[in-house]
Homo-oligomer: A and B are copies of this chain.
Amino acid sequence: MRDLTEKTISEQTIYEGKVIDLKVKEVRLPDGKIGKREVLNHPGAVAIVACTKENKLVVVRQFRKALERTIVEIPAGKLEKGEEPLDSAKRELEEETGYTCEKITKISAFYTTPGFSNQIVHVYFTNELSKGTQQTDSDEFVDVMEITIDEALRMIETGEIIDAKTIYAVQYLQLNKG
């Protein structure tokens, strides 16, 4: 297999923000020419496929400024500094939905937009939920819902569910019934 590596020649930090930072890198392409790459660094995130005893998927409705609309997603959030993904998944699940869980299993991890960002989402599954305490961040407003797979599939049809991780979650449940 060919070596397709693009070595960094120089880089410039454009922005260092609360969640993300943006760099522009000059790179040596495999053919020796010079190219430019925009790279957005993200601390990484977790998402949780959480099912109730009634086999319903726990989801949250929230406004997404980047989309200028409210959509329905599985609970998710970014990793805090030094936090392990497993701990982050348990924390985000309780903060966003008010559910705690004893047993939780990693089922996947994927980059969401490898073309320009290193954001990775670690995905966990649990169906052993207990009632805890919802406690969202001060700038986070979410409504919790519990939906069947059929309802989730209808919400994909209507576009209420329209994000990669939640569509992944629904397909995961279809492929791993019972």
Could you tell me which A residues sit within 8 Å of B by CB distance? 1-2, 4-6, 14-15, 17-20, 22, 24-25, 27, 29-31, 33, 35-42, 45, 61-67, 70-71, 73, 76, 78, 108-119, 121, 138-139, 141-143, 156, 162-165, 167-168, 171-172, 174-175
Nearest Cβ distance between residue A3 and chain B, in whole angstroms?
8
Are the CB atoms of A20 and B38 closer together than 8 Å? yes
Nearest Cβ distance between residue A37 and chain B, in whole angstroms?
4
A19-B141 contact, Cβ under 8 Å, with A25-B65, A109-B162, A168-B168:
no
Q: Which residues of B contact A61 (CB under 8 A)?
A: 1, 4
Are the CB atoms of A111 and B20 closer together than 8 Å? no
A164-B162 contact, Cβ under 8 Å, with A6-B63, A115-B78:
no
Are the CB atoms of B115 and A66 closer together than 8 Å? yes
Expressed in whole angstroms, the Cα–Cα distance for A45 and B162 within the complex equals: 15
Expressed in whole angstroms, the Cα–Cα distance for A167 and B167 within the complex equals: 11
Among B66, B70, B71, B168, which residue has its beta carbon within 8 angstroms of that of A39? B66
Among B38, B64, B175, which residue has its beta carbon within 8 angstroms of that of A17? B38
Among B119, B168, B172, which residue has its beta carbon within 8 angstroms of that of A113? B119
Are the CB atoms of B67 and A118 closer together than 8 Å? yes
Q: Which residues of B contact A112 (CB under 8 A)?
A: 112-113, 163-164
Q: Please name 11 pairs of A and B residues whose Cβ atoms are closer than 8 Å in the assembled complex, sorted by A.
A: A2-B143, A4-B61, A4-B62, A20-B40, A22-B22, A33-B139, A37-B66, A64-B111, A76-B115, A112-B113, A117-B117
